[in-house]
Amino acid sequence: EPEVTQTPSHQVTQMGQEVILRCVPISNHLYFYWYRQILGQKVEFLVSFYNNEISEKSEIFDDQFSVERPDGSNFTLKIRSTKLEDSAMYFCASSDVPAVETQYFGPGTRLLVL
Amino acid sequence: QKEVEQNSGPLSVPEGAIASLNCTYSDRVSQSFFWYRQYSGKSPELIMSIYSNGDKEDGRFTAQLNKASQYVSLLIRDSQPSDSATYLCALTSSGGSYIPTFGRGTSLIVHP
């Protein structure tokens, strides 16, 4: 069964450093998403991406964040200068059509900012 | 601002019992409702969706929606220890939104 993959599974970084979280969506999917979940908190939408551009973003997705599809398979989330409050689990998801029901989540990257 | 409220639990039920998980929401224009299961340290997994008032059954799961009361619930019949997880309620508003707003989830423990 096709699945979304994410690397790394865990990342520890120092405050102020840049991090890049990587995702490989399901191959025939065209819509890509990033969500985050701070420990013990709710899952929060960050951004959606289609046709090489951002289609929606939340208030959380400020200038510190960027997304990119650098090649035909990867979808990345970059945090330019990490803060302590960026510590969270980051989930990538992909779908073939823009619908909640068809969004498949990856296993997540746990980011810890020290 | 859409708010989705869930009791954080834990809800503890014996194996074989019915687990009842509840969710209320504040935005009356919310149209589509979803239940996810999330095991500890794992990603959310969609288990049910419901769009109209009433009940929707899928195997051991039944979702119930009451838009007038702004209430959605999930019943799990014949609960198994493997059902022990956090259950997330989520919704989208009208207008074709495909971005869910999640609640914080209810922790369910099914003890043998």
Looking at the predicted structure, is the pLDDT value of residue A106 above 90? yes
Per-residue confidence band for B31, with pLDDT thresholds at 50, 70 and 90: confident
Within 10 angstroms of residue B9's Cβ, the number of other Cβ atoms is 14
Distance of CA A94 to the CA centre of its chain: 10
**Per-residue pLDDT averaged across B20-38, rounded?**
93
Flag the least confident range among A15-19, A48-52, B96-100: B96-100
C-alpha distances in Å from residue A35, one per residue of A40, A62, A106, B98:
15, 14, 10, 13
Residues of B with CB under 8 A from a CB of A: 4, 32, 34, 42-46, 49, 88, 90, 92, 96, 98-105
CB contact under 8 A, B43 and A41: no
pLDDT attached to residue B1: 61
Q: Mean pLDDT throughout B33-47? A: 97
Q: Is the pLDDT of residue A39 over 70?
A: yes
pLDDT one-digit tens code per residue, B56-106: 999 999 999 999 999 999 999 999 999 999 999 999 987 678 999 999 999
Cβ pair A99:B98 closer than 8 A: yes
The pLDDT mean for chain B works out to 94
Which of B49, B88, B92 lies nearest to residue A43, judging by beta carbons?
B88
Q: What is the pLDDT of residue B32?
A: 93
Tokens describing residue A1:
């069964």
- Give the residue-averaged pLDDT of A50-68: 95
For chain A, what is the mean pLDDT? 96
Contact B86, B107 (CB under 8 A): yes
